[in-house]
Amino acid sequence: MARHAKPRLAVWKFSSCDGCQLSLLDCEDELLAVAGAVEIANFPEASRAIGKGPYDLSLVEGSITTPHDAERIHRVRRLSKFLITIGACATAGGIQALRNFHDVRSYISAVYPSPEFIETLSKSTPISDHVKVDMELRGCPINKYQLVEILSAILNKRKPGISSHSVCIECKRRGTVCLMVAQGIPCLGPVTHAGCGAICPSYNRGCYGCFGPKETPNTESLAAQLTVLGVSDPDIVRARGRAPHPDQGA
Amino acid sequence: MPGNDSHHRSATFESERLQSLLDAVQSRGYEILGPRVRDNTIVLDRLSSITELPTGAGAEQNNARFRMTSRPDQAFFSFTVGAQSWKNYLHEPTLRLWSARRDQNGFQIDANQSLPRKQAFVGVRPCELNAILALDRVLLHGVSADSAYRSRRENTLIVAVDCGVAGGTCFCTSMGTGPRASSGYDLALTEIIEGDRHYFAARAESELGAEILDGIPHSVPTEAERAAAENVVARAAGQMGRSVNTTSIRDLLVRNPSHPRWDQVATRCMTCGNCTMVCPTCFCTTITDVTDLTGEHAEHRRLWDSCFTLDYSYIHGGAVRSSAKSRFRQWLTHKFGTWFDQFGQSGCVGCGRCITWCPAGIDVTEELAALREGNPPGTSPPIGKETPRGIA
């Protein structure tokens, strides 16, 4: 297909650690191809040259945690033809969503010497709670191959190969033996969204669920099995992440 | 693959001659694949020496549990089946079917040119041998005939090994698939340890198997050795961990889509797909197209798929089987029931992998027994005679 002008790409940061944006710079082998295929118009992490909007594609990292964020995301949406959220913060609220189960004011006074200067929201929320999101890439951080895949798919107007099944299927396809069954190592793979390529189990470490829940996760059943493996109740509650503990009153 | 001749030959050879057998296979251009200890379990991998076999290794298997154990003897094959099945080498997890390059006139298609390598499977268990024969019925003939499978299969030599022990999750005797290899192999071995003597009783079914056996030092089996070989498999049959009542099992499943047991098992099923990945007969795949950023190069890839994913039953408007209940019921009903309609046999060979490797510890033998409760065989009205479909 003939492309007249290169599509314009923008990368935006909200509350996050920048790790997912770095995945784009981490594309090393593919980076020149990315730069060749799109005009990187707005990517402060990589360049101070900022091209004005609108943009064909926006990659949004981070969650919404401040009143300023909550306004700015609407401007990003207005400037973007296609908006993809990248990473656990943008798709689920991230680690900072731990505040959602507590009173954020107690954290602010514990962390900052002058809490009166801190303007923050009581909850950390995913981008999709605020604006329409066209597609989400999971992970903490995202998988760079999935990022290149989604860019390739958009550029070539095809369906991206992003699956929402379990990590287990990725383990089996790559020949990694189940850690839970063979060694009794607790693993969140059966309820976790695929996409990382099952990295942790291939290094003999249980999946800790950084891609978030897969389609139709049965965390009750996994919790029962983790109990059999000797995992304590508080650890199971933590592993289940966004499921609040009864005495924390979400 | 077994030939059509009626060449049968039996022999015995001492255990150290197993290396000569591997050498004889290797010298004919075959890459040897067999069981090895890795990742705290037994996997299938390349072998060049008998020292790489899981010598003296045993395995304790139970629901959601596999643990290596050690044995007092130097047996090579005193475990049952490991984490992977031979389908990994006949029906690979990922396969590039073709690639394409853009040119002035559109696209240039490059077929997958990789030449099939000759591969020898050493240590194929009787259940697994039956699983390969079940895959043959699906993938060699008829509507789902697959050229990639055929080229692998036609270049595969099979050295089966009868089972001398049964695993905790085995039920091959119920499914009529073991513990003795009956046919479909090039060579079948029975490993026998009697006091200080460690030897193999061998049977050749194909011409090639007979030729290989002929080429290594062996003797004609005595009556006592034949009896010892029979005792080995009888011992395994006696140890069988589980069983399935297969009487009218197809009808039992087809008649009971509303059995309350499906709701119970759905509370445990995590729809993770592990059972289908480890099953030696689950053959479903999905296709994905990949392009590079420039769009100059594209690939058409095939990946193992699972009926436990939502995408598997996705049609316009959503997934047909959205609940765990419907997905588990589909899998079990197909595996033990409607497989007969499609392929004229059961889809289960009783290897027990789905029980061992289910992270929730779901036991198909237990589920089938529960489905039979309140459904004694012969008391239900007969249903329409099944018509085989999909096989030529």
| pLDDT tens sequence across B284-312 | 999 999 999 988 999 999 999 999 999 99
Residue A217 has pLDDT above 90, yes or no: yes
Q: Is residue A1 part of a domain?
A: no
Contact assignment for A215 to B310 by CB distance below 8 Å: yes
Position B204 pLDDT exceeds 60: yes
How high is the pLDDT of residue B283?
97
Residues B229 and B352 in one domain: no
Interface check A175 vs B, CB under 8 A: yes
Total domains in chain A come to 2
Token pair of A190 as six digits? 């059966």
The pLDDT of residue A146: 95
What distance in Å separates the CA atoms of residue A112 and residue B31, rounded to the nearest whole number? Answer: 65
pLDDT of residue B389 exceeding 70, the answer is no
Residue-level pLDDT at B310: 97
Q: Which residue segment(s) compose the domain that A75 sits in?
A: 8-155
Task: Answer whether B154's CB lies under 8 Å from B117's CB.
Answer: no
Q: Which of B 359-378 lie inside 8 A of A, CB atoms?
A: 359-361
Of A131, A155, A179, the residue that ends a domain is A155
Q: How confident is the model at residue B113 (pLDDT cuts 50, 70, 90)?
A: low
State CA A136 to chain mean position distance. 8
Task: Verify whether the Cβ–Cβ distance A152 to B322 is below 8 Å.
Answer: no
Per the structure, how many domains does chain B have?
2
| Whether residue B267 sits in one domain with residue B226 | no
Say yes or no: A200 and A84 in one domain: no
Tokens 């309820």, located at residue: A191
Q: Are B356 and B81 in contact (CB under 8 A)?
A: no
Other CB atoms within 10 A of residue B214 CB: 12
* B210 and B154 share one domain: yes
The candidate with the shortest Cα–Cα distance to B167, out of B34, B62, B281, is B62
The pLDDT confidence band at residue A2, using thresholds 50, 70 and 90, is very low
Inter-chain Cβ pairs, chain A and chain B, closer than 8 A: 142
pLDDT of amino acid A4: 58
Q: Is the pLDDT of residue B2 over 80?
A: no
Contact B272 A215 (CB under 8 A): no
Q: How confident is the model at residue A198 (pLDDT cuts 50, 70, 90)?
A: very high
Whether residue B297 is found in the same domain as residue B345: yes
Among the candidates B214, B239, B264, a domain finishes at B239
pLDDT at residue number B143: 87
Give the pLDDT confidence score for residue A241 in this predicted structure.
61
Interface pTM (ipTM) of the complex? 0.92
Q: Domain for residue A188, yes or no?
A: yes
The reply to whether A55 falls in a domain is yes
A173 vs B contacts (CB less than 8 Å): 93-94, 277, 303-304
Among A229-233, B151-155, B376-380, whose mean pLDDT is lowest? B376-380
In a domain, A160, yes or no: no
Residue B58 shares a structural domain with residue B171:
yes
Q: Which of B163, B172, B125 is nearest to B349 (CA)?
A: B172
Query: CB of B138 within 8 A of CB of B144?
Result: yes
- Looking at the fold, whether B38 and B162 belong to one and the same domain comes out as yes
For residue range B28-63, what is the model confidence (pLDDT) as tens digits? Answer: 999 999 999 998 999 999 999 999 999 999 999 999
Q: Are residues B204 and B282 in the same domain?
A: no
Examine the pLDDT at A185 and tell me if it is beyond 50.
yes
Residue A171, pLDDT > 50, answer: yes
pLDDT at B327 over 50: yes
In a domain, A248, yes or no: no
In Å, how far is A171's CA from the nearest CA of chain B? Answer: 9
- Round the average pLDDT of chain B to a whole number and report it: 92
How far from chain centre, in Å, is Cα B78? 18
Given a cut of 70, whether residue A124 has pLDDT beyond it is yes
Q: Are residues A16 and A138 in the same domain?
A: yes
| B17 and B84 belong to one structural domain | yes
pLDDT interval class at B385 (50, 70, 90): very low
> Would you state the pLDDT for residue A242?
43
pLDDT band at A238 (very low <50, low <70, confident <90, very high): confident
CATH of the domain at A115: 3.40.50.700
Least-confidence region, from A26-40, A164-178, B371-385: B371-385
What pLDDT, on the 0 to 100 scale, is given for residue B377?
53
Distance, CA of B200 to CA of B17 (rounded, Å): 9
> Are the CB atoms for B257 and B332 separated by under 8 Å?
no
A110 HSE (CA, 13 A, CB side): 6
Nearest 5°: the CA angle A76, A36, A5 is 65
Q: Above pLDDT 70, what percent of chain B?
A: 93
> B336 or B384: which carries more pLDDT confidence?
B336
Examine the domain organization and report whether B231 and B254 are in the same domain. no
Bigger pLDDT: A248 or A104?
A104
Single out the residue of A207, A63, A85 nearest to residue A134, CA to CA: A85
Q: How confident is the model at residue B379 (pLDDT cuts 50, 70, 90)?
A: very low
Of A134, A155, A176, the one marking the end of a domain is A155
Is B389 within the bounds of a domain?
no
Confirm or reject contact between A213 and chain B (CB < 8 A). Answer: no
| Residue of chain A whose alpha carbon sits nearest to that of B309 | A165
Residue A127 shares a structural domain with residue A184: no
Query: Is B179 within a domain?
Result: yes
Determine the residue among A149, A168, A173, A185 to mutate to test chain B binding: the one whose Cβ has the most chain B Cβ atoms within 10 Å: A168
pLDDT tens track for B144-191 = 899 999 999 999 999 999 999 999 999 999 999 999 999 999 999 999
- Residue B374's pLDDT is what? 73
A136 shares its domain with A73: yes
**Would strands A8-13 and A39-42 be described as parallel, antiparallel, or unpaired?**
parallel
| Residue with more model confidence, B374 or B234 | B234
A220 in any annotated domain: yes
In this predicted structure, the answer to whether residue B362 has a pLDDT above a threshold of 50 is: yes
Q: Indicate whether B86 belongs to any domain.
A: yes
Q: Look at residue B39 in the predicted model and tell me its pLDDT.
A: 87
Domain boundary residue, one of A135, A155, A175: A155
pLDDT at A66: 96
Whether residue B323 sits in one domain with residue B186: no
Q: How far is B311 from chain A (nearest CA, A)?
A: 8
Q: How many CA atoms lie within 13 A of B350 on its CB side?
A: 25
Q: How large is the average pLDDT for residues A64-69?
A: 97
Q: Name every residue whose Cβ is closer than 8 Å to that of residue A124 and which is 6 or more positions away in sequence.
A: A15, A63, A64, A65, A89, A93, A94, A96, A97, A99, A100
Mean pLDDT value across chain A: 91
* Domain of residue B40, residue span: 9-239
Contact call for residues B169 and B63 (beta carbons, < 8 A): yes
